[in-house]
Amino acid sequence: MRGPTPGTNDVDVLVVGGGPVGLTLALELGRQGVRTRLIDKRPAPGKLPKMERCNARTMENYRRLGIADRIRAAGLAGDVPMDVFICWGDLTNPPLVHHEYPSVSAMQGTVADSHDGTLPAEPYQLISQYTLEPLLMEVLGETDGVEVVPACELVSFEEVDGGVVATVDHRGVEEQIRASYLVGCDGGSSVVRRRLGIELRGESLLQMRQALFYSEDLFERIPIGKGRHYHFADQEHSFLIVQDDKKHFSLHARVETDEEMPALFERILGFDVDYETLYVGTWQQRLMVADAYRSGRVLMAGDAVHLVIPTGGLGMNTGAGDAVDLAWKLAGTVHGWGGPGLLDSYEAERRPIGLRNVAASRKAASGRRTWRAEWTPEIAERSEAGDRARARLAEVADREQRWSNDLYGIELGYRYDGSPLIVPEDGGDQQPPDANSFQYTPTTWPGARLPHVWAEPGVAVQDLVGKEYALLRVGAATGVDAAPFAAAYGEFGAPFSVVDLTGEDARAVYGEGLLLVRPDLHVAWRGPSLPDDVGTVVRRSLGRAER
């Protein structure tokens, strides 16, 4: 690294933090021609499975980056069921509840046969953080314009004319980096957020203990069935998670000491198995959102601005959504086609999603607490009283546990209502789907994610749009002259394309007419024909609307 030269910037964007969110942001920026440097205080990626699933929306975004198949190859094998079990005693007893969820391979087949927009282009993928981080690091090494610097810790930063000067400690030597923008992806204890004086607000729930175990043959020997999550109806709130290689297992529980975790692990298994304890530690469940996501040329994403407990799997995935939203807006600003409102819209769009996803995780956690509250000592008894207690808990758990696992609506149905980049629509009697519903309803309402439709077998409409604004002409609207849009975007040098869709599926899901989608595939405007003032629509989508 080198120090700043007066009047110039070393990089366009300095990303602080090399977790999945920072890595995803750096990758998105690099693919969009933004000179990026990522620093991470760790000398190498971590070894703990802090996250264990990329949800459908995240996998759609990785598909657009061209790395979905690489992630699947590194993650849980495609033929393993994603089932969830609620158990009593140990794994030798029949489960109280067994919720079946298809393997990735089975889900891919279902997606291939789906034509109504209700499913994503990519299903979920179980992949542990300690697997995902090195993979993303490898991809970054293949990406021009991105530099990754490990063992480099942010000390301080100062906004100056035309940029930010960051002082870093790189292997014991203080250096300076000058960037046009700095983005803090440095986790819940974010140095960036604390130096900005921005507060996280919300609530703290349970303190849990986590252990990571390694066993060569445990997964193949589980007698009650193969899956990914095994919850136990016990006093300790025990929860066993299968990691992506099926040889690492994380156990979360409420116990007093680290020493109790291996004994608890042995107890809930119920049979002898060779294993090694790799880690034991504590963590605090928190549901919190930052007061702000930006201060001038300094922005934040991921856990730095929202803490979402693992229930529902929304933590890293919400952060990945931040990264995608922020990357194209930084690219537009750096490349000059974006107006001053482009970066302003980042907080306006993503902070409400952070609040929404925290609320969804709270609801999922409440469901889990509801069935755990049914626990009584009789659960463990082999008696009539035990049978009744187990039946009562199972009835509640069968309903309440689903809030943690059935949330396509939260993953896919978020909408940027009120965004300054979105042209609002008066639907009259027609109202958009509930954006907070756990059930997903496909919609092209302005601000929504463009629903997945196959343009042809194996080719999604999402695949036909790059990192540009695109006018989708659907059905009879293919005859509409797109020149006014092309000219309006061309005036500012913004990337723009036209995609014609004549298939029955596209017409059924999108309706006949025009859809203007942004580089992140959210609908900016829709209409049956050209708007009265194309320039106004375009300027708004670019963050150039008059205030």
pLDDT in tens, 345-360: 999 999 999 999 999 9
Structure tokens at 224: 């009650």
Q: Are residues 478 and 339 in the same domain?
A: no
Is 394 in contact with 86 (CB distance < 8 Å)? yes
Q: Are residues 341 and 428 in the same domain?
A: no
Per-residue three-class SS string for 467-498: CCEEEEEEHHHHHCCCHHHHHHHHHHCCCEEE
Q: Nearest Cα to 315, choosing from 300, 299, 304?
A: 304
pLDDT score at 2? 36
What domain count does the chain have?
A: 2
Distance, C-alpha 230 to centroid of its chain: 23
Structure tokens at 245: 């290689």
pLDDT score at 52? 87
Whole-prediction pTM: 0.96
pLDDT score at 8? 65
Q: Are residues 307 and 447 in the same domain?
A: no
Helices (H), 373-514: 384-400, 402-405, 408-412, 483-492, 504-510
Q: Are residues 339 and 441 in the same domain?
A: no
Q: Are residues 319 and 432 in the same domain?
A: no
Is 127 in contact with 52 (CB distance < 8 Å)? yes
Q: Are residues 316 and 440 in the same domain?
A: no
pLDDT score at 36? 98
Q: Confidence class of residue 430 from pLDDT cuts 50, 70 and 90?
A: confident
Q: Give the residue-averaged pLDDT of 94-111.
A: 97
Structure tokens at 59: 């996998």
Is 543 in contact with 342 (CB distance < 8 Å)? yes
Distance CA 163, CA 11 (A): 10
Which helix (H) or strand (E) segment holds residue 320: the answer is: helix 315-335
Inform me whether the pLDDT recorded for 113 exceeds 60: yes
Question: Which domain-ending residue is among 330, 348, 366?
Answer: 348
Placement of tokens 């009697």 in the chain? 429
Q: Are residues 181 and 35 in the same domain?
A: yes
The CATH number of residue 507's host domain is 3.40.30.120
Distance CA 307, CA 358 (A): 8
Q: Are residues 158 and 17 in the same domain?
A: yes
Per-residue three-class SS string for 70-122: HHHHHCCCCCCCCCEEEECCCCCCCCCEEECCCCHHHHHHHHHCCCCCCCCCC
Nearest 5°: the CA angle 166, 172, 178 is 15
Q: Are residues 325 and 197 in the same domain?
A: yes
Reduced to 3 states, what is the DSSP secondary structure of residue 202?
strand
Q: Does 271 reside within a domain? A: no
pLDDT score at 50? 82
Q: Are residues 440 and 313 in the same domain?
A: no
Q: Give the residue-averaged pLDDT of 436-453.
A: 97
Distance CA 529, CA 262 (A): 65
Q: Confidence class of residue 7 from pLDDT cuts 50, 70 and 90?
A: very low
pLDDT score at 1? 36
pLDDT tens string 405-427: 899 999 999 999 999 999 999 86
Is 412 in contact with 440 (CB distance < 8 Å)? yes
Give the range of the structural domain holding residue 480, as residue numbers without chain letter: 422-541
Q: What is the DSSP letter of 427?
A: -
Distance CA 152, CA 536 (A): 45
Inform me whether the pLDDT recorded for 5 exceeds 60: no
The CATH number of residue 336's host domain is 3.50.50.60
Inform me whether the pLDDT recorded for 373 exceeds 90: yes
Instruction: Give me the percent of the chain exceeding a pLDDT of 90.
Output: 92
Q: Are residues 430 and 342 in the same domain?
A: no
- Number of continuous H segments (helices) and E segments (strands) in the chain: 16, 24
Torsional sign, CA 296, 298, 300, 304:
negative
Q: Does 191 reside within a domain? A: yes
pLDDT tens string 172-227: 999 999 999 999 999 999 999 999 999 999 998 888 999 999 999 999 999 999 99
Q: Does 404 reside within a domain? A: no
> Any residues with CB less than 8 A from the CB of 253 and at least 6 apart, and which?
208, 209, 236, 237, 238, 239, 261, 264
Q: Does 318 reside within a domain? A: yes
Inform me whether the pLDDT recorded for 14 exceeds 70: yes
Is 518 in contact with 524 (CB distance < 8 Å)? yes
Mean pLDDT of the chain: 95
Q: Confidence class of residue 547 from pLDDT cuts 50, 70 and 90?
A: low
Distance CA 75, CA 72 (A): 5
Inform me whether the pLDDT recorded for 257 exceeds 60: yes
Give the strand pairing for 496-501 and 469-474. Answer: parallel
Q: Does 460 reside within a domain? A: yes
Distance CA 503, CA 374 (A): 52
- 415 phi and psi angles, rounded to 5 deg: -140, 140
Q: Give the residue-averaged pLDDT of 87-98.
A: 97
Is 149 in contact with 37 (CB distance < 8 Å)? yes
Question: Which domain-ending residue is among 333, 348, 363?
Answer: 348
Question: Which domain-ending residue is among 325, 348, 371?
Answer: 348
Q: Are residues 435 and 336 in the same domain?
A: no
DSSP 169-197: EETTEEEEEEEEEEEE---TT-HHHHHHT
Provide the β-strand partners of residue 527: 514
Q: Name which residue leads in pLDDT, 463 or 430.
A: 463
Inform me whether the pLDDT recorded for 368 exceeds 50: yes
